[in-house]
Structure 1
Amino acid sequence: MTRSTSIADTTREERIQIVAEALAWGDDCGDCSLDACGIDKFYQPYIDGELELAELNMARASTTYVLGDADRGERGTSCVM
């Protein structure tokens, strides 16, 4: 069963763990903390219980996209991942 990531169903500590687990890159990140990677700034509203993960992801998607056919050269600010 999948656990809820909703703010209403989690504590702050659980949200920190959810973000850390979701962003785990295996051994590539070593002992990198969320703060050292700058990740906390993006996910801080979720951790603080202000915005749901879906809201943050939609906000990010609205600013990191590729518009239309790549052959036409119409591109937004695209994420490399």
Structure 2
Amino acid sequence: MSGNDFISNLESLAKQSVERKRALDGEEKFDAVGTQADATITFRVNKALKDEFTRVCKKNHSTPSREIKLFMNEVIRKQKLD
């Protein structure tokens, strides 16, 4: 195994370790968050953006609120935005 291969393997293992730690931390934080809706987030968006998002949600048998909550849950689980 060449030096470059060794370094590549080491970098890959380090990245996998970080991802596993992030996933475990995210699941732990997600479990701690719970499911009770006890807070409100209010923010302003462009009307056309809201209308189109609402249309897409309805087309997919969902609501903007549900989709934003799903997004937030996924961010907590992953512990990153992507």
TM-score (norm 2): 0.28
Higher relative contact order (Cα pairs below 8 Å, separated by 6+ residues): 2
Highest CA radius of gyration, 1 or 2?
A: 2
TM-score (norm 1): 0.28
